[in-house]
Structure 1
Amino acid sequence: MGANVSFEPDNKSFQAKPGMSILEVSRKARVHIRTRCDGKAACLMCKVIVSDQSGLAPLNTNERLKLGGLQDQGYRLACQAKVTGDVTVTIPEDPLKAAIRKQLEAQREDD
């Protein structure tokens, strides 16, 4: 029996096999999570937010070192976090897209 992994804000779900990483599941669900290192925990671009982590395996040593305390705010590395049960994953907005969106909103307010 699979685990239901939901991705926000994409509003997509996928039945995953336990033991798959969130990054692997996102690729199968066709949900984009940024990465440059292809899942080697080197680029740290695949940070996601998981408020209820009961459906994930505990952080491994590598993930704990790479996150450096961000795990206390619900962050996990999608390439390292392994699915063990149902879980909802929030993908943060790309920093460049966020900056452009804020700039466009400011321009609209000025018009």
Structure 2
Amino acid sequence: MGQRTIKVTFMPDNRTVSVRPNLTLLDAGRQAGAGIRTRCGGRAGCLMCKVHVEDQSGLTPPATNECLKLGDLIQSGTRLACQARITGDTTVKVPEDPLKAAVRAQLARQKEEENW
């Protein structure tokens, strides 16, 4: 009899991966190639792995350390991917990488200038 798997979908790229229960969102994101940024190796030190989860019923409740680090952001659905553990199917919104966002904005400006 196989172990139960859980589906996690990472937006905006719509990448879905099946994982075992209790895996962190960061590890699931790595499996899905979702591009969740981190610098501390998953120890809640850098706060770079912030993601948004509207319906958190498929995640463990935030632990004290995560609540202290995120403060009021917890109320709006922000979680640290390295701390949030998966307990059920869930959808995660990964913010756009700031460097990619800057490049995209610059390309859009260039295109707009060309159309003048």
> TM-score, normalised to structure 1's length?
0.92
Counterpart in the other structure of 1:86: 89
Indicate which of 68, 71, 94 corresponds to 1:68: 71
Q: Which among 5, 9, 14 is matched to residue 11 of structure 1?
A: 14
- Alpha-carbon RMSD: 1.2
Q: Within 1, Cα distance between the matches of 2:111 and 2:28?
A: 38
1:64 and 1:6 map into 2 onto residues whose CA distance is: 24
- What letter matches 1:52 in structure 2? D
The Cα offsets for residues 82-102 of structure 1, whole Å up to 9 and x where unpaired, read as: 101000011100112212211
**Aligned equivalent of 1:106:** 109
Cα-to-partner distance string for 1:18-49 (whole Å, 9 max, x where unaligned): 11100111122233211110100001111111
Q: Gaps (5+ residues) in structure 1? A: none
Gaps in structure 2 of 5+ consecutive residues: none
1:95 matches 2:90: no
Aligned residues: 111
Partner Cα distance (2:106, 2:76) in 1:
27
Q: CA shift at 1:72, angstroms?
A: 2.1
Alignment-derived partner of residue 80 in structure 2: 77
Q: CA deviation at 1:108?
A: 1.5
- Partner Cα distance (1:93, 1:76) in 2: 15
Could you state the TM-score of these two structures normalised by the residue count of structure 2? 0.88
